[in-house]
Chain A
Amino acid sequence: MSQPSAVEEKLEHLQHHFIDSDQQFEASKLGMWIFLVTEILFFGGLFAAYIVYRSWYPELYLLASEELDVFWGAVNTFVLIGSSLTVAMAIRSAQLNQIRGLIINLWITIGLAVTFMVIKYFEYAEKIEKGILPGAHYSYDGIAHEKANIFFSIYYMMTGLHGIHVLVGIGLMVWLVFKAKKKVFHSGYYTPVEITGLYWHLVDVIWIFLFPLLYLID
């Protein structure tokens, strides 16, 4: 009587208003998908601004994107796709009860996310040095277009908002590592890992569009 059975122990995570673990898992995932929809529309406003200004000043985008380094943009694309792979591997480890593998994959993901931000930092630093700042602070005269600041306002807003999402993702994954070390996750309960994974893949998808739109205008 006093010893909780193995089954009961594994149901610690189940909240009383759900019938079973599956229903709780599906409800969490549905909630996350609704959040991701709002995220897509949140970034959608910026993509709309990008499209409107590109339709007004197509030649500006051609000139200004030459200031962006395709090499580092491509490296960051590989880094983010790699991190999506390790997050998927982390979820797989959790599903298979391999908690060590889960923690290792989360650390690799955090490492890749930090790499992304370090590269982004050097890209920003190089531009700020030249006086390429958003809006009224723009003071670079290497681009022969009077609206050059507009391209970089859009650039900083889109990559900046994306960068904030990467930082939030790093925070979430550090939190997951701590939870995993406390043995919270197992094959019957890994909802936070799955949900954070969905978020991380969306951040990857947004970068997949930002890279060609900002860096690859030939």
Chain B
Amino acid sequence: MSGHHISSAKFLWGVAISLFILTFLTVGVAYIHIPEPWNVVVKISIAAVKAVIVAAFFMNLWWDSKFNVMLFIMSILFFVLLVGITLLDTLYRVDPVPSF
């Protein structure tokens, strides 16, 4: 039951069009030159919204078993852990390894 959600063609087109619009938005934002940290934040946020739309409505997580949703969220948490712990080292080095 949980695995057999059938989306209407109209709905799938709507999802794709919203993704197209967000792509236009990211490219547009790149040309406005938002000051330093915020340009990255805006672009990553738009990408994250697009990723959530794909995961929820194309990969059907919206209607899927909560266990699969948990797996997806856990992978992101572990990625954040990987980056976080790595940055705790690399950001506070006196100088980066010369040959790197």
Residues of A within 8 A of B (CB): 22, 25-26, 29-30, 33-34, 36-37, 40-41, 44-45, 47-48, 51-52, 55-56, 70, 74, 77-78, 81-82, 84-85, 87-89, 92, 95-96, 150, 194, 197-198, 201-202, 204-205, 208-209, 211-213, 216, 218
Contacts of A197 in B (CB 8 A): 58-59
With known contacts A88-B7, A218-B31, A47–B16 Cβ distance under 8 A: no
The answer to whether A33 and B71 have CB atoms under 8 Å apart is: yes
**Other-chain contact of A81, B16, B65, B100 (Cβ < 8 Å):** B16
B9 is an interface residue with CB less than 8 A from chain A: yes
Residue of A nearest to B79 (CB): A44
Q: Could you list 8 further interchain pairs (A-B, Cβ under 8 angstroms) beyond the known A37-B74, A47-B79?
A: A29-B68, A33-B68, A41-B82, A48-B83, A55-B87, A70-B30, A81-B19, A201-B54
With known contacts A85-B15, A88-B58, A29–B3 Cβ distance under 8 A: yes
With known contacts A30-B68, A56-B96, A205-B51, A216–B33 Cβ distance under 8 A: no
Contacts of B23 in A (CB 8 A): 74, 77-78, 81, 211
What is the distance, in angstroms, from B83's C-beta to the closest C-beta of chain A?
5
Residue of A nearest to B23 (CB): A77
**Other-chain contact of B90, A56, A95, A208 (Cβ < 8 Å):** A56
The answer to whether A218 and B16 have CB atoms under 8 Å apart is: no
What is the distance, in angstroms, from A216's C-beta to the closest C-beta of chain B?
4
Contacts of A150 in B (CB 8 A): 100
The answer to whether B16 and A48 have CB atoms under 8 Å apart is: no
What is the distance, in angstroms, from A174's C-beta to the closest C-beta of chain B?
21
Contacts of B82 in A (CB 8 A): 41, 44-45, 48
What is the distance, in angstroms, from A162's C-beta to the closest C-beta of chain B?
14
Contacts of B33 in A (CB 8 A): 218
CB-based closest 4 A-B pairs: A85-B16, A212-B43, A37-B75, A44-B79
What is the distance, in angstroms, from A89's C-beta to the closest C-beta of chain B?
6
What is the distance, in angstroms, from A71's C-beta to the closest C-beta of chain B?
9
Which residues 1-37 in B have Cβ within 8 Å of A in the complex? 1-4, 6-7, 9, 12-13, 15-16, 19-20, 23, 26-27, 29-31, 33
The answer to whether B86 and A48 have CB atoms under 8 Å apart is: yes
CA of A19 to CA of B45, assembled, Å: 43
The answer to whether A218 and B54 have CB atoms under 8 Å apart is: no
The answer to whether B39 and A218 have CB atoms under 8 Å apart is: yes
Contacts of A211 in B (CB 8 A): 23, 26, 47
Which residues 39-85 in B have Cβ within 8 Å of A in the complex? 39, 43-44, 46-47, 50-51, 54-55, 58-59, 64-65, 67-68, 71-72, 74-76, 78-79, 82-83
Contacts of A25 in B (CB 8 A): 3-4
CA of A82 to CA of B12, assembled, Å: 11
Q: Could you name 28 residue pairs across A and B whose Cβ atoms are closer than 8 Å?
A: A25-B4, A36-B75, A41-B78, A44-B78, A47-B79, A48-B79, A48-B86, A51-B83, A52-B90, A70-B27, A78-B20, A81-B19, A84-B16, A84-B19, A84-B54, A84-B58, A87-B58, A89-B9, A92-B6, A201-B59, A205-B55, A208-B47, A208-B50, A209-B44, A213-B47, A216-B30, A218-B30, A218-B33
